[in-house]
Amino acid sequence: MSVYSLNSLSSLDSFSPLASRGTSRRPTARPTTTATSVAAQDIICAVSESRGVSSTVGLAFVNLATAEAVLCQICDSQTYVKTIIKIGVFEPSEILFMNTAKESKLRYIIQENLPDPIFTFLDRRWWTEKTGHEYVERLAFSEEVDLLKVTLGGNYFAACCFAAVLKYVEVELQRSFTSHSLRIRFEPSQGSMTIDLATIVSLELIQNLQNAKSKESLFGLLNETLTPMGARLLRASILQPSTERVRLTARYNAVEDLATKEDMFVSVRQALKGFIDADKVLTAITLVPTKRTIQYVEQSVNNVIMLKTYVSAIKNIFQALGAAQSDLLLTIRELCVPEGHRSVEELIDATLNGHVAYQSKPLDLRNQRIYCVKAGVNSLLDVARQTYKEANSDATELIEKLSGMSEIVTVHE
C-alpha cells in the first residue's frame, strides 16, 4: 500500500491559524468544571462542504486522547443547524478549514454559535479522498477496513476531512498512529435525537447555569459511573440520545438483568473500580511522537505498567458477568474472555515483575519504573539499577553520619 508522501506538502506555509479572540496559539486547557472534567479532550475537527445549492457538510473528528476517529457527512439546511450541533457535542479544541473557506458562511456561523473556536486554515490539496482511503486501510482495525472503505466510497466529503485532519496531526503536531490502532466509525446523520445547543444549556443537561462546578445538572445527577470511559459514554448519550429501537431494547434488557440480580450488579461495580482510563493508556501506547524524548521513554514505562493493571482487571469483569442473560451483557462478557488478552498478558509477564502495579505518587512511580523490569531481561539495565541502589545506600549512610554529627533527627518514610 502506498503511503502519502509528506514531501509533497509544504510544512509551515500551508497553515494559517485564526482564533475568534485574536490568538493563533494552540488552545490551552479550560478551567475544570463538572462538564469539562469529562469533555476536555484533545479533539481536532476538519470541516468541508459542497459548492452547490444543497449544503452537504463533511466532518472528521480525531480524539488524540482516546485514539478514536468519528466521520460524518450531513445533508444540512442553509443555517447549518445539524452541523453546529454535531460540532458542539464533540467540543473540538481546533477546527480545520480549507484556506479558501476563510470568508465562508459556514465558518462565520460556527464562530457565532460555538464558544471561542480556534480555526486553522490549510491548503486545498490536504483534502483528498484518495489519501483518506489510504489512511483507513493503514490505520483502521483489520476486520473493519473493508466495511469502512465501502462506507466512505459514498461519502466524499467525510473522506476528504479524514485525510486533512490526520495529515495535520502528523505534520503539525508531529504525532502518528501505529498501524491498525485507530478506532474509526462513521456516524450517519440519522439514528440519534437532535438537541440544539441553546436547549442543552437552558435545560442544564451537562452544566449548571449558576455554578459551573456544581453537580446539579442532568449529567451530574446521573453520573454514578466508576470509570472515565463510562462518564464519557454517559455524556455522549445525554447530548445525542439514540433513537434506534434495537440499541435501546438491548440497553433496557441489560438494565433489567442487572436490576434483578443484585449479586451480579454489586460484583460488576466492584470489578469496575479497578479500571484505569483504558482509552488514554492505549492511545499513549499507539500514538508515537516524531521525536522521542527522555520524558516520552519514562512515560512509556508508566503506560506499560498501567496496561498491566488494565489487563489484570478484565478477568474480574468476565467473572462478575457469569450470571448474565441479556444479549448486551453476554456480548461484553464474550469480549472479556481470558483468551482474548492472554497473548498481551504473556508478553507483559515475560518482562515485568508480577507484583508491579501502577502507583500515583511520584516517588513510588519512579521506583516502579526502575524496578518493574525483571532481572536478566537487559544486562545494562541490571548494572544501572545496581549502581543506583549503591548510590542511594551511600547517600543514606552519609545523611545518617551527618545527622549524628549535627544531632539532627532524620525521619524515614
| Residue 210 DSSP one-character state | S
For residues 82 and 87, give the distance between their C-alpha atoms in angstroms, rounded to a whole number. Answer: 9
pLDDT score recorded for residue 53: 64
User: Which ranges of the chain have pLDDT less than 70?
Assistant: 1-41, 52-54, 407-413
The residue assigned the cell 464558544 is 115
pLDDT score recorded for residue 29: 42
> Residue 372 phi/psi, 5° resolution?
-70, -35
pLDDT score recorded for residue 298: 84
pLDDT score recorded for residue 20: 38
Q: 10 Å Cβ neighbour count for 241? A: 12
pLDDT score recorded for residue 262: 94
* Closest alpha carbon to 76 in 27, 99, 101, 110: 110
pLDDT score recorded for residue 195: 80
**Would you list the DSSP string of 5-45?**
-GGGS-SSTT-EEEETTS--SPPPPPPP-TTHHHH---EEE
pLDDT score recorded for residue 51: 80
pLDDT score recorded for residue 218: 94
> Residue 39 phi/psi, 5° resolution?
-85, -20
**Would you list the DSSP string of 54-122?**
SEEEEEEEEETTTTEEEEEEEEE-TT-HHHHHHHHHH--SEEEEEGGGTT-HHHHHHHHHSSS-EEEEE
Question: In the predicted model, what is the mean pLDDT of the chain?
Answer: 84
pLDDT score recorded for residue 132: 94
pLDDT score recorded for residue 408: 67
